[in-house]
Structure 1
Amino acid sequence: MMIIRIKELRNNHRHSQEFIIENTGVDVSHIENGRDTPSVLSISRLCKFYGITLSEFFAPINYPPKE
């Protein structure tokens, strides 16, 4: 789910993977192809870059209800 959100943010802003890597230091190419799992630090850097909060980053993810 986080991979989808990262791709969505990048594509919505029409940024290439290379542009994000150069401007954030986050290797989104490895994350998007499943080679790496994004760390909290990586997600935090992406949020700062895109001007959103962690809550906003995770908002579109529909978690299953707790029992």
Structure 2
Amino acid sequence: MNQTFKVTGMTCGHCVNAVQRAILKTDNTAKIQVDLPTGLVSVASSLPRSTLVAVIEEAGYKVTSP
């Protein structure tokens, strides 16, 4: 299932990598696309939205509605 999140706090490529690593640590088959300028993160994963939000926020970023 493809889900899109608005993530605030990402300011550079290292931030993008941190978000991607956090998601992949929980679901190593997830497909992730990050648009840094807009803060949109699209994730194709079978994990529930609440789990993905928790993983991103545990990595130090804030998730708001897209």
TM-score normalized by the length of structure 2:
0.39
Decide which structure has greater strand share: 2
The structure whose RCO (Cα within 8 Å, separation 6+) is larger is 2
Decide which structure has greater helix share: 1
TM-score normalized by the length of structure 1:
0.38
